[in-house]
Structure 1
Amino acid sequence: MLTEVIATRYVTPLREGGSLPGIVEADDLGTYVMKFTGAGQGRKTLVAEVICGQLGRRLGLRVPDLVSIQLDPVIGLSEPDQEVQELLKASGGLNLGMDFLPGSLGFDPLAYAVDAREAGRVVWFDALINNVDRSWRNPNMLVWHGDLWLIDHGATMIWHHNWPGAAASAAKPYDASDHALARFAPDIAAAAAELAPRVTEELLTEVAADVPDEWLVDEAGFDSTDAVRRAYVEALLLRAATIHERITLDTPTRTGEPQPPGWLTEHLKPWPHPTRKSKEADR
């Protein structure tokens, strides 16, 4: 179950995202990127964020901590942007928060190198969840303290928008030729050998249990929230075993020796910024 906190202050909107997420402070003294139930994409975006984010974390990928956030729309009354006010009014109740990573930078494949093993793990994971939003145009990855972090998993598991076709959709291949990490020769076979056996029915059931009931109620074609959770488990379990055989990945053109992982040149490294330890101490 996700830790539940209460939003105490709306700080600022993040206009890079199509759903207009915002930075909020909470009663645990944490700062979070908040995604709203009242956004145009709806609650299924938050369901995807929880299932995929928690699954990624359980597989050893770096995904920021997730929490559920209780929102009282009154905290947005001083917000001058009418669009933001309307979003807050429509999102009273339980929403989703992602730990804010201070000082993080957007991933740029020309500035930061990823080794073949890590690239393979990320590409395999994105193939499993059918992530259509990790291209070089919009990587949805951050570099924080020299490490690669994965964010924004709302555009995944597209089969949950049409449950009758879920089995057929989950069996489809994954085109990774446009993936942000394609240029780093991802080792898909090694990733599948390592990660696929860990995607068990038990693990997926635990991950699906983290989704709040209120985001699953009244799902068409299901008589209970547990039945909806089971549908997510079945689709991902079906896909995990063989998706590595159906990943399309262009062979990158590489000259010279592969770059070691990390910043490609010294001057591209960011200025020092707070560590997680100091961040926790400030809370």
Structure 2
Amino acid sequence: MLPELTATRYVTPLKEGGSLPGIVEADDDGTYVLKFRGAGQGLKVLVAEVVVAGIARLVDVPVPELAVVRLDPRIARYEADEEVQDLLTASVGTNLGVDFLPGSLGYDGSRPPDADLAERIIWLDALTANVDRTWANPNLLVWHGRTWAIDHGAALYFHHSWPSRAPSPERFAAQPFDASRHVLRDVAGDVARRHDELAARLTPEALEAVVAEVPEEWLETTDELVDADAVRTAYGRMLRARLDGPLTWVPSGVAA
């Protein structure tokens, strides 16, 4: 399970993102980028962050460490910005903390990863249907000479339809992925040749362990998915179907 911490101080907002994440200090003396449960995108964004980061670790894509960070209502009282204060008040309880990487730089292509890592990142994004890794929004950091993948809330888009539509593993399995605008398309080699190697790491047991890291209170039930166990099973089935399906989502080269 993810470590559970308590925020001790709200430091500053990060206004680059639409969800208005913020920097907080926690009771482990660490500093985190906090993704708020009360942001407009809702809890499913936090779920996607946890699941995709877990898969990234399995395929050796560097991602910051995650933690569940509890926000006390008293923190909001000392925030002068009304928009931030409203967000803090709406986010009392558990939120997602992403380890802050001090001194990291946003990816601009001047220090690209090697082809091996670029292929892993593109394959990860294709598997999880993450459309948010283009030059408009690279969602990569360079830290200590390595490229780190961040911000995976836009992945696993299928779960946003669950309140009105039952999960469809077959539909997700067949959904193609367009890598032509991916920020690493000119760095990677043939991504398709990496599929068997990377997919072999995502055993049913490994995927189950990844999904198990999501806090139960972030899993939103529906008429079809009546409890947290059913929701976890649905995530596993969707990902398993994509891995075992027709593989139309695997980019051939990097210009699918």
Instruction: Pick from 203, 214, 218 the counterpart of residue 217 of structure 2.
Output: 214
Preserved CA contact (<8 Å) 1:46 1:96: yes
Aligned residue in 2 for 1:46: 46
Shift of 1:221: 1.8
Preserved CA contact (<8 Å) 2:190 2:252: no
Aligned residue in 1 for 2:67: 67
Shift of 1:240: 2.0
Shift of 1:112: 1.5
Aligned residue in 2 for 1:78: 78
* Inter-partner Cα distance in structure 2 for 1:4 and 1:116: 36
Residue 178 (structure 2) pairs with residue 175 (structure 1): yes
* Inter-partner Cα distance in structure 2 for 1:129 and 1:232: 11
Residue 133 (structure 2) pairs with residue 134 (structure 1): yes
Moved more, 23-32 or 187-196: 187-196
Aligned residue in 2 for 1:148: 147
Structure 1 gaps of 5+ residues are: 252-283
Aligned residue in 1 for 2:119: 120
Residue 158 (structure 2) pairs with residue 159 (structure 1): yes
Residue 236 (structure 2) pairs with residue 233 (structure 1): yes
Preserved CA contact (<8 Å) 1:177 1:249: no
- Counterpart amino acid of residue 203 in structure 1: A
* Inter-partner Cα distance in structure 2 for 1:170 and 1:220: 23
Instruction: Pick from 185, 189, 192 the counterpart of residue 189 of structure 1.
Output: 192
Shift of 1:73: 2.4
Q: Write out per-residue CA displacement over residues 250-280 of structure 1, whole angstroms, 9 at most, x where no aligned residue.
A: 55xxxxxxxxxxxxxxxxxxxxxxxxxxxxx
Change (3 A) 1:165 1:222: closer
Q: Please, what TM-score do these two structures have when normalized by structure 1?
A: 0.84
Shift of 1:170: 3.5
Q: Please, what TM-score do these two structures have when normalized by structure 2?
A: 0.93
Preserved CA contact (<8 Å) 1:174 1:248: no
Change (3 A) 1:220 1:136: farther
* Inter-partner Cα distance in structure 2 for 1:185 and 1:55: 19
Aligned residue in 2 for 1:247: 251
Preserved CA contact (<8 Å) 1:101 1:144: yes
Secondary structure, aligned partner of 2:168:
helix
Q: Percent identity?
A: 54
Aligned residue in 2 for 1:6: 6
Preserved CA contact (<8 Å) 1:57 1:63: yes
Shift of 1:222: 1.0
* Inter-partner Cα distance in structure 2 for 1:245 and 1:94: 34
Preserved CA contact (<8 Å) 1:170 1:239: yes
Preserved CA contact (<8 Å) 1:119 1:187: no
- Counterpart amino acid of residue 72 in structure 1: D
Preserved CA contact (<8 Å) 1:128 1:243: no
Secondary structure, aligned partner of 1:119:
helix
Aligned residue in 2 for 1:88: 88
Preserved CA contact (<8 Å) 1:117 1:187: no
Shift of 1:238: 1.2
Structure 2 gaps of 5+ residues are: none
CA RMSD of aligned residues (A): 1.7
Q: What number of residue pairs does the alignment pair up?
A: 251
